[in-house]
Amino acid sequence: MTKDEFFMRKYGNVSEEGRKKLLEKVERQRRARDSRKENERAERARMREERVNRRDTRTSHSSFASYNRRNPLFEYVYGTHSVRSALSANKRDSYNKLYVHNCQDNELITMANKYGIRVVEKENKNDLNILCNNGVHNGVVLETKALELPTIQGLGECSENGYEISLYNEMYDAVETVKMPIARAEAKVPAATETRFPLGLFLDGITDPQNMGGIIRTAYYFGVDFIVVPDINSARLGPVASKASVGSLDMMSIYKTEHGLKFIDAIRKNGWNVVSTASRPSAVEVEDLRQKHDKVEAQLKQRYVEIGELSNILSRGPVLLVMGSEGDGVRTHIKLRSDYLVGIDGTPNPYVDSLNVSVAVGILLAKCLT
């Protein structure tokens, strides 16, 4: 059956009234179809407009983010003292920009101009917050290369004029020996001390950058000659540590070592006294040491000295003071290589059984130099 025959059979006998209703139905369907198409066209137009607006918004936000984005090739030192020290020490490979907001420190701006650093004035304080991860920047952020630590190989013999230090030169793949003066040479020497010897710090497992910064600040204040940190399992000496050190991070002589135990063995052969911090072991710890090795507990027990003896030890020769993490303390292998062990006795109580490591460093350094 053809289409015409089908429709003639279906509608050929329809009355005039039925035909009228049929035409009205077809007209309603046509209007509904046209209205539906019009709505679909309007919806597509609306969606296109939304996509354009979102793209414009993303572009605007992307431009803002790129304008204030942190450059992964640099680090951002923040705070007036930290930035001033980084520029004064001039130890970093390069300085890129100095971002400021309402900075009234003309001397700092002068220092930046001296090094040819571009000074960028920010109208919004939040721009600096982004650069320093909401650190307390005081309106000053320095975009600079990270501080590279020289690799120390060993320490030589000491004299009244200073001490020798061996550093590894990566460029020439060679070890260079440098003569260093004693940091406290200009300070008053106690009457009982005829010769002044260098005092260094070895930080074993300090992983908190705030503690690391506090230790560096204390060491620089007391005139410690140098600090040695292991290449692994140590806090990053970045902007957080620099802020906590109040800028002394760049001013202090800091070295890294890849082999801490070999380094300690080498300097002991050159006359350095290694003093490790360790509280006297409890009965449980003594039993644990005895199970590991019968002689370990006896060896460690013989090396404990009172805290008041530190100044006498330093008066007889150079000292490397080893500080451990708050949780685990100094490693047993380092304790066994130490010449002396010393602890800080406090009042026993169930709530506070130890000191913050930066506080302990301050107490021990004061005892060494008294």
Most confident region among 9-13, 168-172, 245-249 by mean pLDDT: 245-249
Which structure tokens are listed for 152? 């120390």
Does residue 123 share a domain with residue 201? no
Q: How far is CA 311 from the centre of its chain?
A: 33
Does residue 237 share a domain with residue 355? yes
Which structure tokens are listed for 220? 């620089």
Of all residues in the chain, the percent with pLDDT exceeding 70 is 86
- 19 within a domain of the structure (yes/no): no
Q: How far is CA 109 from the centre of its chain?
A: 26
How many whole angstroms separate alpha carbon 322 and alpha carbon 273? Answer: 11
Q: Where are the beta strands (DSSP E) in the chain?
A: 75-78, 95-100, 118-121, 140-144, 151-159, 162-169, 174-180, 199-204, 226-230, 254-257, 273-277, 319-324, 340-342
Does residue 201 share a domain with residue 140? no
Which structure tokens are listed for 178? 């440098």
122-136 mean pLDDT: 87
- 64 within a domain of the structure (yes/no): no
292 pLDDT band, cuts 50/70/90, is: low
* Per-residue model confidence (pLDDT) at position 353: 72
On the question of pLDDT at 287 being above 70, the answer is no
Does residue 294 share a domain with residue 352? yes
* Per-residue model confidence (pLDDT) at position 191: 42
185-192 mean pLDDT: 52
Q: What is the mean pLDDT of the chain?
A: 84
CA proximity to 163, closest of 224, 204, 221: 224
On the question of pLDDT at 64 being above 50, the answer is no
Q: Which residue range(s) make up the domain with 138?
A: 75-144
Taking the CA atoms of residue 326, residue 153, residue 217 and residue 101 in that order, the dihedral angle to the nearest 10 degrees is: -110
Last residue of some domain: 86, 120, 144? 144
> How many C-beta atoms surround the C-beta of residue 326 within 10 A?
17
Model confidence pLDDT, tens digit, residues 264-277:
999 999 999 999 98
329-342 mean pLDDT: 89
Structural domain total, the chain: 2
- 309 within a domain of the structure (yes/no): yes
* Per-residue model confidence (pLDDT) at position 210: 93
135 pLDDT band, cuts 50/70/90, is: confident
